[in-house]
Structure 1
C-alpha cells in the first residue's frame, strides 16, 4: 500500500534532517543527490523545515556560482541542549552540548565516600543545573547518564547493586522527576561501546566486545550493531567470571575470586608492586593505569609487569572469545587506554596460543571520555527522534526507547 502524501512528506523530512545532522551543512542540490528526491520535492521540504524552525541558511557553497542553489542549509543547533553525565562511585562529570554535539559547558564534581546519599544527589543535580544554565538559554531536552551497575532491560531503571553507592539510583529518579526532559540511564561500559562503535576503535566493526578496565572490570557486547544486555541486564558482568589463578570462586554477591580478582585496579597495583612499580591513583584514574604508564616508561621491571598483565587479561579475553566469537575485543577504560597498542599487542600474542578463534585485540581510542561520549550520543538520538521526527513518523532508537522522565519541552 503506497504511503499517503502526508506520510511521504514526513519520511522525506526526516531523511533530510538526518543527512543535515550527519553530513551538513548541505545545499539543496546536495540534498537532492543524497536523497534521490526530485528538485521540486527538495525545494518543498527545505521550505517546510525552515518554516518549522528546524533548519536555516548558514552560508553559501563555492565562490563562483551564487544564488539559491548555492545556499548551505544546516540544523538549528541551539534549538535545545543535550547533557551527558558520567556517574562514578566518587564523582560526577557533566558535559552540555548543542544538537550538533558542540561542547558548550562542562564540569566535574568529586563526591566523597562520607557524603550522605541525599546530599550527594542534591550536589549532582545542582551541578547539572548550573552547567546547563551556563551553556545558554535553550531548554535542556535530553540527558544521557552512564553509571556502574545493572540497568533493567524492561523498565530502564538502574538496579540496586552491592558495593555501589545507593545515591546513584536516587539521582536518576530525582532527575527524572524534576526535569522537563527525557532522562536515560545506561550501564557505563555499554555507553563506552556505543562511543567506540560510532567514533572510536570499533567504527569498522558491528560485532565486538569491549573490555572495560578501570577501578573494576566489565564488558559490553555489541553484536550485529546492537547492544546485547541479556535477560536481566547483566550481560558483560565479566568480573564474576571464574578464571584460573584466583583464590576461591565468586559468589552471587561478591566478585572476589572471579576475573575481577585478577584484572581490577587493586590486584593490578599489587602485581605492579611485586615488579618494583608503585603508582597511586591520580584523580579519577585508578592506580593500575598509572602503573601501566610507568611500566611503559621503563620504571621497575616494566616488561615483566606488562607480560604478567597481558597473561591475566588474555584469560578473560579467551573466555569471551570462546563463547561469543566476536572477532574483535577492545581494551578500554583507563587501564586499556594507558596500555594502548603496546598492551593490546601483548594480549593478542598470548591469545593466539590460547584460542583457535581469530580474535583481533585493539586498544580503545576514547579512554576515560568514552562514557560521556556515549551518554551524549544517547541523548542526541533521543532529541533526533523527538525534535526531528514529523508527526506520525517515529524512528526507533537503540537506547532512547529506554527513557524515563517528563515530556520533552
Structure 2
C-alpha cells in the first residue's frame, strides 16, 4: 500500500478528532492532543480546518483555573447537516431525522400507497419529518414532531431499510414480498432527487447494525442477528462487515428447508405438515409468526389475538410455550452455527425481544445439545424500532464519510 499523502493524513486526523468530539462531547485542545497523540501544531491546524468548514465551533471554556487558549472547549455543530433514517414495511413508512450527533429532531409516519411511486413516497415521508431538502437547500415543510429551529439544517444523507432483497452493488430492490410495487432502483431515484448520499438495505441488516453498535452485540465483530416476527431473517456480521451475499440474499433463512422428523426439534403436533423425514417448505413455515400462532393458541386461555405476531407475544410469558418455541428456533440457530460458526447469536424482532433472556437461555441449551460449537445466544436489547435506529446510525456514517471524503 502506498504511503498516505499529506491530504489523506489530514483527512484521517480531522475525522479522528471529529469522532472524538462526537463520542465525548466538547474537548479542549490539550485533551484532543492527549487523545489523538498528535502534536500541538497539528491539533491547532485541524481545529482551524474543522471550524472553517462549519463542523465544529468554540462552545465555551473548561473549568481550569488558569484560562488561556488551551482552556477553550470545542464541540460539534450538530446542525451542520442532518440525516434521515427510513424504515419501510408492507403498511407504512417511518422516518427519523437526526442531527449530526444522532439526536432526533423530527419524525414522520405515513401509510404505504401500493399504487404510488416508491421514491415519491419516501420523499413525502422525508418532507413530513422535515428532511426532504437536499444539502444546501432550505427544508420545505417542518414536522410538528421536531424542533422548528432544527429545520434550518440541510439534509446530508439518507439510509432506507426495506423488506426483501436489495442488490448490494446497485441498491436496487429486486424482490420484496408484499411490496411488489417497490421493485426497482430506489437508491438511484432518491440520490438523483436529493443530491446526497443514499443507502438502501434490507431492514434486518440495519437492525443488525443497531445491535452491533448500541445493543447486545457491542462486544463482538462476528455474530448473527436472527429476527423473529411476521417473517424471519438474519443479519450476518463477519469481522465487522455486513455480509450481504452476491445478490443481497445472505440471511434469507426463511427459504432454508429442514427435515422434520423424530429427534429433530419441531417434531410432533407443532410440526408443519411434511411427514417424518420429509423436507418441509422452509423456516418461514416453521418459525414465522403465522406458523407459531397456531402453537400459541394452544397455550392461551381464551381466543388468541387475530394478528399472528400479537398471538405469539401473548403466549411468550407461558413457560411451556417458551420451551416449544425454543425448540423450533433452535433449528434455525443450529443451521446458522453449522454454516457460519458465528459464536454469538442475537434473537431480535418482536418475538425475540419479547422472549428476552429466558428464551435465549432455552435456545442456547437446545443448540448446545445439538451441535459441538460453542455458541452464546443473547436477547436483542435495542429498544423501539431496531431497523430505524440502524438506519439513523448508517445515515450518520454516510454523512461522515461524505464530509471527510472517505
Tell me the TM-score range normalised by the shorter chain: 0.7 to 0.9
**Would the aligned equivalents of 2:257 and 2:280 in 1 still touch at CA under 8 Å?**
no
Q: Structure 2: how far apart are the matches of 1:66 and 1:143?
A: 41
Equivalent positions of 1:182-261 (< 5 A) are 182-243=197-258, 244=260, 245-248=271-274, 257-261=281-285
**Aligned mates of 2:340, 2:400 — CA distance in 1:** 32
Distance apart, 1:271 and its partner CA = 1.0
Q: Conserved in 2, the CA contact under 8 Å of 1:279 and 1:288?
A: no
Contact 2:32 2:43 in 1 (8 A): yes
* Equivalent residue, structure 1, for 2:294: 270
Tell me what 2:369 maps to. Answer: 353
Q: In the alignment, which residue of structure 2 is the partner of 1:152?
A: 167
User: SS of the residue aligned with 1:246?
Assistant: coil
* Greater RCO (CA < 8 Å, at least 6 residues apart): 1
Contact 2:119–2:190 at 8 Å: present in 1 too? no
2:158 to 110, 127, 143: 143
Partner of 2:196 in structure 1? 181
1:108-123 correspondence runs (5 A): 108-111=109-112, 115-118=113-116, 122-123=120-121
8 Å Cα contact 2:228/2:287 also seen in 1: yes
Query: TM-score, structure 2 length as denominator?
Result: 0.85
Structure 1 contact 147–168 (Cα < 8 Å) conserved: no
Matched-pair contact (CA < 8 Å) for 1:144–1:376: yes
Task: Give deviations 1:306-355, integer Å, cap 9, x for gaps.
Answer: 11111100111011111111111000011111111111111112212111
Runs of 4 or more consecutive aligned structure 1 residues displaced over 6 Å after TM superposition? none
Measured after TM superposition, the shift of residue 139 of structure 1 is: 1.3
Task: Report the Cα offset of residue 86 of structure 1.
Answer: 0.3
Quick check: 7-16 or 335-344, which moved more? 7-16
Does the 8 A contact of 1:336 with 1:367 survive in 2? no
* Distance of 1:366 and 1:289 partners within structure 2: 19
Alignment partners' CA distance in 2, 1:184 and 1:3: 28
Q: Which residue of 1 aligns with 2:268?
A: none
Instruction: Tell me which residue corresponds to 1:125.
Output: 123
| TM-aligned CA deviation for residue 214 of structure 1 | 1.2
Distance in 2 between residues matched to 1:186 and 1:61, nearest whole Å: 42
Q: CA deviation at 1:87?
A: 0.3
When residues 120 and 4 of structure 1 are mapped into structure 2, their CA distance, relative to the original with a 3 A threshold, is closer
Structure 1: gaps spanning 5 or more residues: 250-254, 297-301, 396-409
Query: Shift of residue 55 of structure 1?
Result: 0.8
Query: Hey, what does 1:315 align to over in structure 2?
Result: 331
The worse-fitting range, judged by mean Cα deviation, of 7-16 and 20-29 is 7-16
Q: Does 1:106 align with 2:107?
A: yes
Contact 2:206 2:387 in 1 (8 A): yes
Q: What CA distance in whole angstroms lies between the structure 1 residues aligned with 2:47 and 2:246?
A: 44
2:173–2:182 contact (8 Å) kept in structure 1: no
